[in-house]
């Protein structure tokens, strides 16, 4: 089978690029593994989060902001085409601080990002203001940072909408397939899976943690490693939160999710009580009433992390037509992946400012 674009990796990154390419009129195949895949997309917390993204890399801060701005168009288009609502809500985001030291550190991060990347309205709210904004805040909260353009979405609905949207645009979703080999030549790629052959002029490696092995086959480098995150989910509760919080959000169905743990645990996706306890303690310090809520689920999943935590987007120099795409913010960046990155890939060239996202940055000696 021959296509304009083959995307390897059917998660949120690959799904958004595949759908975006199909929306530009390209014939697209989305090759996905089976349920044995690590699937960061299915463990995602669901933030569309801007305020703290890109300190030290203004290109990433701007890319994140662009994605947050493109998200409404993505959500509306997908809902119109597929009937699946990704439940986007951009009501502003809060990151709570429990000590004066935390608040000072947060304030200096905001100042730094403001200076590096410009003003997006992020500000520190003090003890009194936060209590006026959010009912039920605990005594230990000394303040928070607030960003008016932060928000959240439903990761599983988004993933389903992208896959469904791709099919409706005539694309092929090909699950249950692990790539055996790629025959690469400039603007000509043959993906071999068992006896199957898939041919395309353009190839996108968006296979999450699997990208590390696949990228060198087409002259790219994607040195990503796993970073485990655990999530706690409570029973459904009457909506009590008008904002998205960095470590806590209430879904449209009323579930309260707590997250944002980070552990280097290799490829181990098991949950552990010590980390879950720390997460519960912090979030019940912010909202003491949550101590009465029952926990109904916990899970762990693996983030896909580059050495500096920033995304990698790059076209292969050796095999033009092959592109790398990876990040740990598959929900936040979905708008940009679908509506900005995918059209650039279809056009065959990444914009000049994408040079900042090249894996070559890992070769530069630090001073």
Partner 1 sequence: MFRRIEPAAADIRFSYEGREIVAQPGDSVATALLLAGETSLRTTPISGSARAPYCMMGVCFECLMEIDGVGNRQACLTPVKAGMQVQRQRGARELL
- Summarize as ranges the residues that interact with partner 1 (CB under 8 A): 135-136, 235-240, 253-254, 287, 289-290, 292-294
Residue 4 CB neighbour total at 10 angstroms: 17
Q: Minimum distance from CB of 326 to partner 1 (Å)? A: 35
What is the Cα–Cα distance from 165 to 129, expressed in whole angstroms? 42
With respect to partner 1, which residue has the nearer C-beta, 238 or 367? 238
Alpha-carbon gap, residue 38 to 101, rounded angstroms: 36
User: Left (φ > 0), alpha (ψ -120 to 50) or beta: where does 146 sit?
Assistant: beta
CB of 248 to partner 1, least distance (A): 13
Give whichever of 167 and 255 is closer to partner 1, judged by the CB atom: 255
The residue (of 240 and 299) whose beta carbon lies closer to partner 1 is: 240
Least Å distance between CB 241 and partner 1?
9
- Nearest residue (CB) to partner 1, 258 versus 350: 258
Other Cβ atoms less than 10 A from the Cβ of 178: the count is: 15
Task: State the nearest-atom distance from the C-beta of 251 to partner 1, in Å.
Answer: 11
Cα–Cα distance between 151 and 170 in angstroms, integer? 31
The set of residues, in sequence order, having a beta carbon less than 8 Å from that of 262 and lying 6+ positions away, is: 227, 228, 229, 303
Shortest separation between residue 27's beta carbon and partner 1, angstroms: 38
Considering the complex, state which of residue 279 and residue 302 has its C-beta at the smaller distance from partner 1.
Answer: 279
- Cβ-based nearer residue to partner 1, 289 or 347: 289
Give CA angle at 148 (144, 150), nearest 5°. Answer: 85
Residues 223, 362: Cα–Cα separation, whole Å: 9
Minimum Å gap between C-beta 250 and partner 1 is: 10
């Amino acid at each position: 089978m021959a296509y304009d674009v083959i995307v390897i990796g059917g998660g949120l990154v690959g799904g958004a690029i595949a759908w975006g390419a199909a929306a530009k009129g390209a014939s697209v195949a989305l090759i996905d593994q089976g349920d044995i895949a690590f699937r960061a997309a299915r463990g995602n917390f669901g933030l569309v989060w801007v305020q703290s993204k890109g300190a030290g890399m203004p290109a990433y801060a701007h890319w994140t902001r662009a994605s947050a701005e493109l998200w409404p168009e993505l959500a509306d288009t997908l809902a119109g085409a597929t009937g699946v609502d990704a439940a986007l809500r951009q009501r502003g985001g809060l990151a709570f601080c429990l000590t004066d030291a935390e608040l000072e550190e947060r304030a200096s991060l905001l100042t730094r990002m403001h200076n590096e990347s410009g003003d997006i309205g992020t500000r520190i709210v003090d003890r009194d203001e936060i209590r006026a904004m959010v009912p039920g805040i605990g005594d230990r909260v000394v303040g928070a940072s607030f960003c008016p353009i932060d928000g959240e979405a439903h990761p599983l609905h988004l993933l389903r909408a992208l896959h469904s949207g791709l099919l409706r645009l005539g694309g092929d979703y090909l699950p249950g397939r692990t790539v055996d080999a790629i025959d690469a030549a400039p603007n000509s790629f043959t993906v071999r899976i068992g006896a199957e052959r898939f041919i395309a002029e353009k190839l996108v490696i968006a296979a999450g943690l699997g990208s590390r092995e696949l990228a060198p086959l087409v002259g790219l480098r994607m040195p990503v490693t796993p970073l485990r995150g655990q999530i706690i989910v409570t029973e459904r509760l009457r909506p009590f939160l008008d904002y998205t919080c960095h470590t806590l959000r209430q879904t449209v169905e009323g579930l309260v999710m707590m997250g944002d743990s980070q552990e280097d645990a290799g490829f181990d996706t098991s949950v552990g009580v010590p980390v879950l306890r720390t997460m519960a303690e912090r979030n019940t310090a912010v909202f003491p009433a949550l101590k009465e809520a029952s926990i109904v689920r916990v899970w762990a999943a693996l983030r896909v992390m580059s050495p500096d935590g920033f995304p990698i987007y790059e076209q292969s120099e050796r095999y033009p037509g092959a592109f790398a795409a990876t990040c740990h913010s598959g929900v936040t960046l979905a708008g940009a992946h679908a509506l900005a990155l995918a059209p650039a890939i279809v056009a065959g060239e990444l914009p000049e400012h994408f040079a900042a996202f090249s894996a070559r940055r890992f070769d530069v000696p630090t001073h």
